[in-house]
A and B are shown apart, each in its own frame.
Chain A
Amino acid sequence: MSIFKTTAMSVAGVSADSPAAEAVLTRVATLDMNQAAEDAVLTPVEIGAWSHELRAAFAARIAQLNGDEALAQRYAARAGDIAALADPEAKLAIPELDHVIAFMDKVAGQTRQVEAGDITALQEAKISDADIVRLVELNAFVSHQVRVIAGLRLLNRSDR
Protein backbone atom coordinates (compact mmCIF):
# COMPACT_ATOMS: atom_id res chain seq x y z
CA MET A 1 0.00 0.00 0.00
CA SER A 2 1.24 3.48 -0.83
CA ILE A 3 2.01 5.36 2.35
CA PHE A 4 -0.48 8.02 1.24
CA LYS A 5 -3.30 5.46 1.13
CA THR A 6 -2.98 4.51 4.80
CA THR A 7 -5.76 5.53 7.17
CA ALA A 8 -3.63 8.15 8.93
CA MET A 9 -2.60 9.92 5.70
CA SER A 10 -6.02 9.67 4.06
CA VAL A 11 -7.89 11.06 7.06
CA ALA A 12 -5.31 13.81 7.66
CA GLY A 13 -5.40 14.73 3.96
CA VAL A 14 -1.68 14.14 3.39
CA SER A 15 -0.76 13.48 -0.26
CA ALA A 16 2.52 13.30 -2.16
CA ASP A 17 2.44 17.04 -2.89
CA SER A 18 0.87 18.37 0.33
CA PRO A 19 2.80 20.27 3.05
CA ALA A 20 3.35 17.30 5.40
CA ALA A 21 4.69 14.98 2.68
CA GLU A 22 8.37 15.80 3.19
CA ALA A 23 8.27 14.96 6.90
CA VAL A 24 6.17 11.84 6.31
CA LEU A 25 8.69 10.52 3.78
CA THR A 26 11.35 10.45 6.54
CA ARG A 27 9.28 7.81 8.41
CA VAL A 28 7.74 5.60 5.73
CA ALA A 29 8.60 2.27 7.42
CA THR A 30 7.18 3.48 10.73
CA LEU A 31 3.94 4.69 9.18
CA ASP A 32 3.57 1.41 7.27
CA MET A 33 3.85 -0.44 10.59
CA ASN A 34 1.26 1.94 12.01
CA GLN A 35 -1.18 0.72 9.35
CA ALA A 36 -0.31 -2.91 10.13
CA ALA A 37 -1.21 -2.20 13.77
CA GLU A 38 -4.59 -0.80 12.74
CA ASP A 39 -5.25 -3.93 10.70
CA ALA A 40 -4.30 -6.11 13.68
CA VAL A 41 -6.73 -4.45 16.10
CA LEU A 42 -9.61 -4.00 13.65
CA THR A 43 -9.50 -7.18 11.57
CA PRO A 44 -7.55 -9.88 13.41
CA VAL A 45 -7.87 -13.54 12.46
CA GLU A 46 -8.49 -14.53 16.09
CA ILE A 47 -11.33 -12.22 17.02
CA GLY A 48 -12.15 -13.60 20.48
CA ALA A 49 -15.54 -12.26 21.58
CA TRP A 50 -15.37 -9.11 19.42
CA SER A 51 -16.40 -9.26 15.73
CA HIS A 52 -14.76 -7.07 13.10
CA GLU A 53 -17.96 -5.00 12.94
CA LEU A 54 -18.05 -4.43 16.70
CA ARG A 55 -14.35 -3.46 16.68
CA ALA A 56 -15.03 -0.94 13.90
CA ALA A 57 -17.98 0.46 15.88
CA PHE A 58 -15.85 0.88 19.02
CA ALA A 59 -13.06 2.45 16.97
CA ALA A 60 -15.57 4.94 15.52
CA ARG A 61 -16.91 5.72 18.98
CA ILE A 62 -13.41 6.38 20.37
CA ALA A 63 -12.61 8.64 17.38
CA GLN A 64 -15.86 10.50 18.06
CA LEU A 65 -15.05 10.89 21.77
CA ASN A 66 -11.79 12.45 20.60
CA GLY A 67 -13.67 14.85 18.31
CA ASP A 68 -12.39 13.28 15.08
CA GLU A 69 -15.49 13.12 12.90
CA ALA A 70 -13.64 12.09 9.71
CA LEU A 71 -11.88 9.16 11.36
CA ALA A 72 -15.12 8.14 13.09
CA GLN A 73 -16.95 8.06 9.76
CA ARG A 74 -14.23 5.96 8.16
CA TYR A 75 -14.45 3.35 10.93
CA ALA A 76 -18.28 3.50 11.20
CA ALA A 77 -18.55 2.60 7.51
CA ARG A 78 -17.13 -0.81 8.47
CA ALA A 79 -19.42 -1.37 11.45
CA GLY A 80 -22.40 -2.86 9.60
CA ASP A 81 -25.57 -3.12 11.66
CA ILE A 82 -23.98 -1.72 14.81
CA ALA A 83 -22.70 1.56 13.37
CA ALA A 84 -25.06 3.39 15.76
CA LEU A 85 -22.68 2.45 18.59
CA ALA A 86 -20.27 4.98 17.07
CA ASP A 87 -22.31 7.87 18.43
CA PRO A 88 -21.51 8.43 22.13
CA GLU A 89 -24.63 10.62 22.42
CA ALA A 90 -26.99 7.87 21.28
CA LYS A 91 -28.39 5.99 24.27
CA LEU A 92 -28.18 2.50 22.87
CA ALA A 93 -29.67 -0.30 24.87
CA ILE A 94 -27.46 -3.34 24.32
CA PRO A 95 -27.77 -4.87 27.79
CA GLU A 96 -25.05 -7.47 27.26
CA LEU A 97 -22.63 -4.74 26.13
CA ASP A 98 -23.50 -1.83 28.42
CA HIS A 99 -20.65 -2.46 30.87
CA VAL A 100 -18.18 -2.94 28.00
CA ILE A 101 -19.27 0.34 26.39
CA ALA A 102 -18.87 2.19 29.70
CA PHE A 103 -15.41 0.66 30.14
CA MET A 104 -14.31 1.64 26.62
CA ASP A 105 -15.53 5.23 27.10
CA LYS A 106 -13.59 5.50 30.38
CA VAL A 107 -10.35 4.07 28.98
CA ALA A 108 -10.52 6.45 26.00
CA GLY A 109 -11.65 9.60 27.77
CA GLN A 110 -10.88 9.36 31.49
CA THR A 111 -7.78 7.18 31.30
CA ARG A 112 -6.26 8.48 34.51
CA GLN A 113 -9.37 7.46 36.48
CA VAL A 114 -9.30 3.79 35.44
CA GLU A 115 -8.74 1.54 38.45
CA ALA A 116 -8.53 -2.14 39.32
CA GLY A 117 -12.30 -2.31 39.95
CA ASP A 118 -12.98 -1.53 36.30
CA ILE A 119 -11.15 -4.70 35.27
CA THR A 120 -12.73 -6.76 38.06
CA ALA A 121 -16.19 -5.68 36.86
CA LEU A 122 -15.47 -7.07 33.39
CA GLN A 123 -14.14 -10.31 34.87
CA GLU A 124 -17.29 -10.64 37.01
CA ALA A 125 -19.33 -10.22 33.84
CA LYS A 126 -17.55 -13.36 32.55
CA ILE A 127 -15.37 -11.57 30.01
CA SER A 128 -12.14 -13.54 29.63
CA ASP A 129 -8.75 -11.98 30.34
CA ALA A 130 -7.82 -12.43 26.66
CA ASP A 131 -10.93 -10.53 25.59
CA ILE A 132 -10.17 -7.76 28.09
CA VAL A 133 -6.67 -7.38 26.60
CA ARG A 134 -8.20 -7.29 23.09
CA LEU A 135 -10.56 -4.48 24.12
CA VAL A 136 -7.76 -2.46 25.70
CA GLU A 137 -5.42 -2.88 22.71
CA LEU A 138 -8.18 -1.71 20.35
CA ASN A 139 -8.92 1.29 22.54
CA ALA A 140 -5.27 2.17 23.06
CA PHE A 141 -4.41 1.88 19.37
CA VAL A 142 -7.29 4.12 18.25
CA SER A 143 -6.33 6.67 20.93
CA HIS A 144 -2.83 6.63 19.40
CA GLN A 145 -4.13 6.87 15.82
CA VAL A 146 -6.31 9.90 16.68
CA ARG A 147 -3.19 11.73 17.92
CA VAL A 148 -1.02 10.76 14.96
CA ILE A 149 -3.73 12.20 12.70
CA ALA A 150 -4.10 15.37 14.81
CA GLY A 151 -0.37 15.99 14.46
CA LEU A 152 -0.34 15.25 10.73
CA ARG A 153 -3.19 17.69 10.17
CA LEU A 154 -1.19 20.45 11.86
CA LEU A 155 1.88 19.70 9.74
CA ASN A 156 -0.27 19.59 6.63
CA ARG A 157 -1.74 23.08 6.93
CA SER A 158 -1.07 25.08 3.82
CA ASP A 159 -0.83 28.49 5.56
CA ARG A 160 2.68 27.90 6.86
Chain B
Amino acid sequence: MSRIVHAFTRNVPKWQPRVTPVKLDEASDAQLEALQVTPSNTKVSDYVLVLAHDFETLKVRSPLFNAIMYDPGGLSRSERELGAIGASIVNRCIYCAAVHADRHAKIEQNTDVTDRIFAAGKDADLSPRDKAIFDFSLKLSECPPKVAPTDLDALRAAGLSDSEVLDLVLSTALFGWANRLMHVLGDPVRNQGERA
Protein backbone atom coordinates (compact mmCIF):
# COMPACT_ATOMS: atom_id res chain seq x y z
CA MET B 1 0.00 0.00 0.00
CA SER B 2 1.16 3.52 -0.68
CA ARG B 3 -0.09 6.85 0.56
CA ILE B 4 -0.11 10.24 -1.15
CA VAL B 5 2.29 12.88 0.17
CA HIS B 6 0.54 16.23 0.77
CA ALA B 7 3.21 18.27 2.59
CA PHE B 8 6.31 19.89 1.10
CA THR B 9 9.44 17.87 1.81
CA ARG B 10 13.02 17.50 0.56
CA ASN B 11 12.74 13.74 0.93
CA VAL B 12 11.86 12.88 -2.70
CA PRO B 13 8.74 10.67 -2.92
CA LYS B 14 7.95 8.14 -5.64
CA TRP B 15 5.87 9.41 -8.58
CA GLN B 16 2.85 7.24 -9.34
CA PRO B 17 1.22 7.87 -12.73
CA ARG B 18 -2.54 8.40 -13.09
CA VAL B 19 -2.41 7.20 -16.72
CA THR B 20 -0.76 4.07 -18.08
CA PRO B 21 2.85 4.65 -19.17
CA VAL B 22 3.97 3.48 -22.61
CA LYS B 23 5.32 -0.08 -22.32
CA LEU B 24 8.94 -0.05 -23.38
CA ASP B 25 8.68 -3.36 -25.25
CA GLU B 26 5.69 -2.03 -27.21
CA ALA B 27 7.14 1.43 -27.96
CA SER B 28 7.35 2.60 -31.59
CA ASP B 29 10.68 3.59 -33.14
CA ALA B 30 9.69 7.26 -32.85
CA GLN B 31 8.88 6.79 -29.14
CA LEU B 32 12.19 5.01 -28.54
CA GLU B 33 14.03 7.84 -30.24
CA ALA B 34 12.25 10.43 -28.07
CA LEU B 35 12.97 8.29 -24.99
CA GLN B 36 16.66 8.18 -25.97
CA VAL B 37 16.67 4.45 -25.29
CA THR B 38 19.87 2.79 -26.44
CA PRO B 39 21.25 -0.67 -25.74
CA SER B 40 23.36 0.84 -22.95
CA ASN B 41 20.57 3.01 -21.59
CA THR B 42 17.39 1.02 -21.00
CA LYS B 43 16.36 2.50 -17.65
CA VAL B 44 13.43 4.83 -18.21
CA SER B 45 11.24 6.32 -15.48
CA ASP B 46 7.44 5.97 -15.45
CA TYR B 47 7.26 9.75 -15.83
CA VAL B 48 9.18 9.75 -19.11
CA LEU B 49 7.23 6.70 -20.30
CA VAL B 50 4.00 8.63 -19.66
CA LEU B 51 5.32 11.58 -21.67
CA ALA B 52 6.26 9.20 -24.50
CA HIS B 53 2.54 9.11 -25.38
CA ASP B 54 3.27 12.54 -26.95
CA PHE B 55 6.70 11.68 -28.34
CA GLU B 56 6.94 14.70 -30.63
CA THR B 57 6.80 17.02 -27.63
CA LEU B 58 9.02 14.81 -25.44
CA LYS B 59 11.71 14.80 -28.11
CA VAL B 60 12.07 18.60 -28.07
CA ARG B 61 11.23 19.07 -24.41
CA SER B 62 14.14 17.07 -22.95
CA PRO B 63 16.94 19.11 -24.61
CA LEU B 64 15.09 22.36 -23.85
CA PHE B 65 14.78 21.38 -20.18
CA ASN B 66 18.49 20.58 -19.96
CA ALA B 67 19.48 23.83 -21.69
CA ILE B 68 17.38 25.97 -19.37
CA MET B 69 18.52 24.28 -16.18
CA TYR B 70 22.15 23.33 -16.94
CA ASP B 71 23.68 25.38 -19.78
CA PRO B 72 26.76 27.27 -18.55
CA GLY B 73 26.86 31.02 -17.94
CA GLY B 74 24.19 33.35 -16.62
CA LEU B 75 22.27 32.58 -13.45
CA SER B 76 23.86 30.07 -11.06
CA ARG B 77 22.59 26.47 -10.92
CA SER B 78 21.15 26.88 -7.43
CA GLU B 79 19.40 30.13 -8.32
CA ARG B 80 17.74 28.44 -11.30
CA GLU B 81 16.60 25.75 -8.83
CA LEU B 82 15.14 28.52 -6.67
CA GLY B 83 13.00 29.65 -9.62
CA ALA B 84 11.83 26.05 -10.07
CA ILE B 85 10.99 25.81 -6.37
CA GLY B 86 8.97 29.07 -6.46
CA ALA B 87 6.83 27.77 -9.34
CA SER B 88 6.36 24.40 -7.61
CA ILE B 89 5.15 26.12 -4.42
CA VAL B 90 2.54 28.18 -6.30
CA ASN B 91 1.32 25.15 -8.25
CA ARG B 92 1.67 22.90 -5.18
CA CYS B 93 3.65 20.29 -7.07
CA ILE B 94 4.98 18.34 -4.09
CA TYR B 95 7.12 16.08 -6.27
CA CYS B 96 8.85 18.87 -8.25
CA ALA B 97 9.37 20.90 -5.08
CA ALA B 98 11.04 17.91 -3.40
CA VAL B 99 13.37 17.10 -6.30
CA HIS B 100 14.49 20.70 -6.76
CA ALA B 101 14.74 21.56 -3.07
CA ASP B 102 16.96 18.49 -2.70
CA ARG B 103 19.11 19.66 -5.64
CA HIS B 104 19.32 23.19 -4.25
CA ALA B 105 20.45 21.84 -0.86
CA LYS B 106 23.05 19.57 -2.48
CA ILE B 107 24.49 22.31 -4.72
CA GLU B 108 24.66 24.76 -1.82
CA GLN B 109 25.64 22.03 0.67
CA ASN B 110 23.13 23.70 2.94
CA THR B 111 19.47 23.06 3.72
CA ASP B 112 18.84 26.44 5.30
CA VAL B 113 17.17 28.18 2.34
CA THR B 114 14.78 25.35 1.51
CA ASP B 115 14.01 24.72 5.22
CA ARG B 116 12.93 28.35 5.49
CA ILE B 117 10.88 28.21 2.29
CA PHE B 118 9.03 25.08 3.34
CA ALA B 119 8.40 26.51 6.81
CA ALA B 120 7.25 30.02 5.83
CA GLY B 121 6.39 29.90 2.10
CA LYS B 122 6.25 33.37 0.54
CA ASP B 123 7.21 34.97 3.88
CA ALA B 124 10.49 33.01 4.11
CA ASP B 125 13.34 35.06 5.56
CA LEU B 126 16.09 34.85 2.89
CA SER B 127 19.15 36.84 1.82
CA PRO B 128 18.18 39.92 -0.25
CA ARG B 129 19.28 38.26 -3.50
CA ASP B 130 17.50 34.95 -2.81
CA LYS B 131 14.42 36.85 -1.62
CA ALA B 132 14.21 38.89 -4.85
CA ILE B 133 14.61 35.72 -6.95
CA PHE B 134 12.07 33.71 -4.92
CA ASP B 135 9.49 36.54 -4.86
CA PHE B 136 9.79 37.00 -8.61
CA SER B 137 9.31 33.29 -9.26
CA LEU B 138 6.17 33.21 -7.08
CA LYS B 139 4.63 36.20 -8.88
CA LEU B 140 5.50 34.95 -12.38
CA SER B 141 3.88 31.59 -11.57
CA GLU B 142 0.45 33.00 -10.66
CA CYS B 143 -2.32 32.79 -13.28
CA PRO B 144 -2.31 35.43 -14.71
CA PRO B 145 1.35 36.20 -13.98
CA LYS B 146 1.68 39.10 -11.53
CA VAL B 147 5.14 40.48 -12.35
CA ALA B 148 5.46 44.26 -12.63
CA PRO B 149 8.35 46.63 -13.48
CA THR B 150 9.00 47.06 -9.74
CA ASP B 151 9.79 43.32 -9.52
CA LEU B 152 12.42 43.70 -12.23
CA ASP B 153 13.78 46.71 -10.33
CA ALA B 154 14.04 44.51 -7.22
CA LEU B 155 16.04 41.87 -9.12
CA ARG B 156 18.41 44.50 -10.50
CA ALA B 157 18.79 46.09 -7.07
CA ALA B 158 19.73 42.63 -5.76
CA GLY B 159 22.53 42.50 -8.35
CA LEU B 160 21.05 40.42 -11.18
CA SER B 161 22.10 41.29 -14.74
CA ASP B 162 19.49 41.19 -17.49
CA SER B 163 20.82 37.87 -18.81
CA GLU B 164 20.50 36.41 -15.29
CA VAL B 165 16.93 37.70 -15.13
CA LEU B 166 16.22 35.98 -18.46
CA ASP B 167 17.55 32.70 -17.02
CA LEU B 168 15.29 33.12 -14.00
CA VAL B 169 12.30 33.79 -16.26
CA LEU B 170 13.10 30.66 -18.27
CA SER B 171 13.63 28.34 -15.28
CA THR B 172 10.48 29.59 -13.53
CA ALA B 173 8.38 29.35 -16.70
CA LEU B 174 9.78 25.87 -17.38
CA PHE B 175 8.37 24.73 -14.05
CA GLY B 176 4.99 26.20 -14.94
CA TRP B 177 5.25 23.49 -17.59
CA ALA B 178 6.83 20.69 -15.52
CA ASN B 179 4.46 21.21 -12.57
CA ARG B 180 1.45 20.85 -14.87
CA LEU B 181 2.81 17.51 -16.12
CA MET B 182 3.90 16.06 -12.78
CA HIS B 183 1.06 17.36 -10.59
CA VAL B 184 -1.70 16.62 -13.10
CA LEU B 185 -0.56 13.26 -14.49
CA GLY B 186 0.52 11.58 -11.24
CA ASP B 187 0.70 11.49 -7.46
CA PRO B 188 3.70 11.78 -5.11
CA VAL B 189 3.55 8.65 -2.93
CA ARG B 190 5.40 6.76 -0.21
CA ASN B 191 5.09 3.18 0.89
CA GLN B 192 3.28 2.65 4.19
CA GLY B 193 5.73 2.94 7.05
CA GLU B 194 8.30 4.85 5.01
CA ARG B 195 9.72 8.01 6.60
CA ALA B 196 7.81 11.21 5.69
B103 contacts chain A at the CB level, 8 A cutoff: no
Q: Is the CB of B140 within 8 A of A111?
A: no
- Once bound together, how far apart are the Cα atoms of A156 and B177, in whole Å? 23
- Once bound together, how far apart are the Cα atoms of A112 and B56, in whole Å? 27
Which residues in A have their C-beta under 8 angstroms from that of B140? 147, 150-151
Which residues in B have their C-beta under 8 angstroms from that of A65? 143-144
- Once bound together, how far apart are the Cα atoms of A55 and B173, in whole Å? 20
Q: Is the CB of B180 within 8 A of A143?
A: yes
Which residues in A have their C-beta under 8 angstroms from that of B141? 147
Which residues in A have their C-beta under 8 angstroms from that of B166? 20, 23-24, 26-27, 151-152, 155
A137 contacts chain B at the CB level, 8 A cutoff: yes
- Once bound together, how far apart are the Cα atoms of A27 and B173, in whole Å? 15
Main secondary structure of the interface of A (DSSP, over half): helix
Query: Shortest beta-carbon distance, A122 to chain B, in Å?
Result: 9
- Once bound together, how far apart are the Cα atoms of A108 and B143, in whole Å? 8
Q: Is the CB of B64 within 8 A of A154?
A: no
Which residues in A have their C-beta under 8 angstroms from that of B124? none
Which residues in B have their C-beta under 8 angstroms from that of A24? 166
- Once bound together, how far apart are the Cα atoms of A140 and B61, in whole Å? 11
Q: Mark A114-135, 1 if CB is under 8 A from B, else 0.
A: 1010111001000001101110
Q: Mark B38-71, 1 if CB is under 8 A from A, else 0.
A: 0000000000001101111101110110011001
Partner of B57, one of A22, A41, A147: A41
Q: List chain A positions with a Cβ less than 8 A from chain B.
A: 20, 22-24, 26-27, 29-30, 33-34, 36-37, 39-41, 44-46, 48, 65-68, 107-112, 114, 116, 118-120, 123, 129-130, 132-134, 136-137, 139-141, 143-148, 150-152, 154-155, 157, 159
Q: List chain B positions with a Cβ less than 8 A from chain A.
A: 18-20, 50-51, 53-57, 59-61, 63-64, 67-68, 71, 73-74, 90-93, 140-141, 143-145, 147, 149, 151-152, 161-163, 165-170, 172-174, 176-181, 183-185, 187
